[in-house]
Amino acid sequence: MFKGFKQFILKGNVVDLAVGVVIGAAFGGVVTSFVKDIINPLVATIGGSHDFSSVYFTLNNNKFPIGDFINALLSFLINATVIYFFVIVPMNRLVSAANKKEKPIDPTTKKCPYCLSVISVHATRCAFCTSKLPH
């Protein structure tokens, strides 16, 4: 029983997942701080306020406080926008640049179909067996 548990814990993907969760939590704190300390004040400067917690509407003498929902929704949208433009787009560019493969070089030689000797791709006759080459 313990042997199986030890194998499960020491598998690479379990350790990778644990590291990913820890790094993700730390990165989440960085993004949240960036949005709270930099983006929200910019939004408040442009829009007038970034706190909608006091917004509500009344229906049949019942108060519906929707301000917290609006705050949470705006926070989510701002976080998603920041993550997309400052993390996803640059990472996609890095990955595509890293995966960009060089174009294959056009071959300069080919094999003679008769004697299998290596000859120029422009040859019309084989230099070794003197056979006339198909076009």
Length of the chain: 135
- State whether 112 and 74 are in the same domain: no
**Number of domains within the chain:** 2
- State whether 89 and 23 are in the same domain: yes
| CATH number of the domain encompassing residue 29 | 1.10.1200.120
Q: 113, 98 in Cβ contact below 8 A?
A: no
Q: What is the pLDDT of residue 98?
A: 81
- State whether 64 and 114 are in the same domain: no
- Kindly provide the b/e burial profile for residues 76-87, where b requires at least 16 CB atoms within 10 angstroms of the residue's own CB: eebbeebbeeee
Backbone angles phi, psi at 94, to 5 degrees: -65, -45
Q: 32, 72 in Cβ contact below 8 A?
A: no
- State whether 83 and 120 are in the same domain: no
Task: Give mean pLDDT, residues 2-11.
Answer: 76
Asked whether residue 24 is assigned to any structural domain, the reply reads yes
8 has a pLDDT exceeding 80 = no
Which residue range forms the structural domain that includes residue 44?
13-99
76 has a pLDDT exceeding 90 = no
